Structure 1
């Protein structure tokens, strides 16, 4: 009988549609009630419905709507009456009848059960209710929660590369990569654990590196480096680092990867308390040729973690002269270092007059929106002129001014 019922209702699209609408009414109200407008059916379908009800189609059309009560009554007088109407609806639609209220209650019970699990899962006690619900929406399983709890509990006490940590904990060096689901969830929890907000103009990569480093994890490889000259360092054991000393003695310009900075306690200029920081590598090379003992750093474009790491290793008595190209990106970087180190930073020929005196022909119109986030007043003054001129000013054009300044500085410092 059930097979026959399915075939019968499948043969008439109109009958199948009515049964689906009956299921929708049941979901909303918890029982079969209400009406269905006949305008949702074609003329042919309306005639079929009238036949099922045992009334003339003209009589049905006058009512302009079909009551579910009439449809259920007609069904219960049909040859399928031995099968309850509720079961018939389920057989035709292929789904169990359910109500909105029941689903909501079920979801609430599941939500409570899920949230309660966080208090049982060691290592995840800090997770906020908002984050718990976010994980529920992402369908993070209990097995995944257990794993995340273990990862948080096992965070290293000393600086460790993320792939090494992943290998230790998961047996897979790529297990905590950003592309991996557990890697994404793990990083989300680290954000909550660290409570570090993203700084103004801080790139997503810089912020990510800072979050990991806060928990003694390093994500950067050997290509994360900063170029230096005439700087010396002490190790964690308090001894002078021989490689840094040797580079100074032989006046070597070299790239220091983040890995080589992990065991360094302090960095300082070989002589004096001043360090010159340049963005442009070609200018840096030219100036070091003219001034081979200049204590200096070159970061070659956007700041990497290695740049921030080495700056943090200088004593607070160290002062920095900073110079970059005067374009929107250069002003952003200058603003970043100024906001972080305040009065310890002085700009070298990064002023409104220098910008106006040495313009290039490079159109920077598309990058001008980046200027709106600047904080430093002097940089904002340059930005106003830049918005008007819509061109950049590059460090190479200021070479003679740098040389004159460094010559005077070198004499005053007796270097």
Structure 2
């Protein structure tokens, strides 16, 4: 930078350069005038540069591009307008149409590169998805890895880390936080939008696991489990393990592996099951209601929970869910109702019990926004109370009322 150019480092000239570059980018020309008030920075250097007196400048609301261009050419730097823009913005002039044309050309080159690896990617992925992949590093290697994996999907249930090791030598290659893992999920779910939770309340946990399940891939079939009581399961015959737990009146944790192994799961008595969010409340209810089949969902639903609920609904079991009446608890209840509209309903989660157990708490705006997802009428009434009062009601606060309602509904 020379002494001659330092003058043009003033913020007002930076603002002019940015404005001119933007105009050219959009329309291919600079226009006729620039409004002084649209610029940022002290206007004094501009006044001095254009040769206006203070009085004359005070009456100016705009200046012409022509006079600015002539002033540049007559100055010590003898710049063209293009020289000035390059100096102030550090970028050459660009046309939007040319930028878009180049981007489209580059994208088509990328698509052809991917098509040569395996045409199924271009056929199945959307252009939006492909454009996102265009910016990834080592993208060709990722697509080649997934192409090979898609051609060798297992015929029997296989743990995802084992499959990943078989395909790549790295048991974590298809973890969902790895590029190959994300691409594999996208290819196994062409009609799913795994990243979008605004269009559906079906949790990502179930959606992703369901996609893998259909491909005979298991993320974790041992540590992914669910606590149950009073349920039976069978293939050709009733499972002795499940039957033994019922005879012993024992609550036990069933791994996903065992849930998947069973063709049918159903209550040992009746056709109703109580699903309890909180493990402490679940334990209390086991003592108070030993004749009621139950499941403990333990907070956010795991895939084991979703899978056992699906098998229960397939055997025409009615599901009754109770959880905390806070934003997260209501969203979980809504998820359940939306997923199993013919077989699921809530129990004791109403405004009457809310008022019995309500307590003041700090609820962030982020948590309150979750309540917009609530559509079911009774849950909506509770959601409105939470929004109005910033109070919540935990299951522990209405256990007695819950017990009476369960006895009434289950006919015990």
Identify whether the pair has TM-score above 0.5, normalized to the shorter chain.
yes
Query: Which of 173, 176, 190 is the matching residue for 1:175?
Result: 173
Residues 1:145 and 1:67: Cα distance change in structure 2 (over 3 Å): same
Q: 1:226-281: per-residue Cα shift (whole Å, max 9, x none)?
A: 1100100013xx22212111111111101112222121111100011111111121
Residue 389 of structure 1: how far off its partner (Å): 2.3
Q: 1:20-54: per-residue Cα shift (whole Å, max 9, x none)?
A: xxxxxxxx9xxxxxxxxxx9xxxxxxxxxxxxxxx
Counterpart of 2:113? 117
Residues 1:143 and 1:398: Cα distance change in structure 2 (over 3 Å): closer
Q: 1:310-329: per-residue Cα shift (whole Å, max 9, x none)?
A: 01101352111211111111
Larger radius of gyration: 1
Residues 1:326 and 1:104: Cα distance change in structure 2 (over 3 Å): closer
What is the number of residues matched between the two proteins? 332
Counterpart of 1:4? none
Residue 340 of structure 1: how far off its partner (Å): 1.5
251-260 vs 141-150, greater mean Cα deviation:
141-150
Distance 2:192 2:396 in 1: 41
2:253 is paired with a residue of what secondary structure? strand
Distance 2:255 2:304 in 1: 7
2:285 pairs with 1:264: no
Residues 1:106 and 1:13: Cα distance change in structure 2 (over 3 Å): same
1:262 is paired with a residue of what secondary structure? helix
Residue 301 of structure 1: how far off its partner (Å): 0.8
Distance 1:284 1:119 in 2: 53
Q: Is the contact made by 2:206 and 2:303 (CA closer than 8 Å) also made in structure 1?
A: yes
2:380 pairs with 1:368: no
1:192 is paired with a residue of what secondary structure? coil
Residue 402 of structure 1: how far off its partner (Å): 2.9
Distance 1:13 1:364 in 2: 58
Counterpart of 1:90? none
Residues 1:301 and 1:117: Cα distance change in structure 2 (over 3 Å): same
2:386 pairs with 1:390: no
Counterpart of 2:403? 403
133-142 vs 166-175, greater mean Cα deviation:
133-142
Scaled by the length of structure 2, what TM-score is found? 0.70
Q: Is the contact made by 1:127 and 1:189 (CA closer than 8 Å) also made in structure 2?
A: yes
Distance 1:324 1:102 in 2: 57
Residue 363 of structure 1: how far off its partner (Å): 4.1
Counterpart of 2:209? 209
Distance 1:227 1:260 in 2: 12
Q: Is the contact made by 2:318 and 2:343 (CA closer than 8 Å) also made in structure 1?
A: yes
Query: Which of 264, 272, 279 is the matching residue for 2:277?
Result: 279
Distance 1:221 1:162 in 2: 10
Residue 188 of structure 1: how far off its partner (Å): 3.8
Residue 183 of structure 1: how far off its partner (Å): 2.5
Residues 1:13 and 1:207: Cα distance change in structure 2 (over 3 Å): farther
Distance 2:156 2:272 in 1: 31
Distance 1:348 1:266 in 2: 25
Query: Which residues of structure 1 form unaligned runs of 5+?
Result: 1-11, 18-27, 29-38, 40-59, 69-98
Distance 1:103 1:371 in 2: 43
Distance 1:382 1:194 in 2: 31
134-143 vs 384-393, greater mean Cα deviation:
134-143
Written as runs of structure 1 = structure 2, the 5 A alignment for 1:309-348 is 309-314=307-312, 315-348=314-347
Give RMSD over aligned pairs. Answer: 3.6
Distance 1:105 1:407 in 2: 69
Residues 1:107 and 1:301: Cα distance change in structure 2 (over 3 Å): closer
Q: Is the contact made by 1:324 and 1:334 (CA closer than 8 Å) also made in structure 2?
A: yes
Distance 1:129 1:102 in 2: 20
Distance 1:127 1:187 in 2: 11
1:135 is paired with a residue of what secondary structure? helix
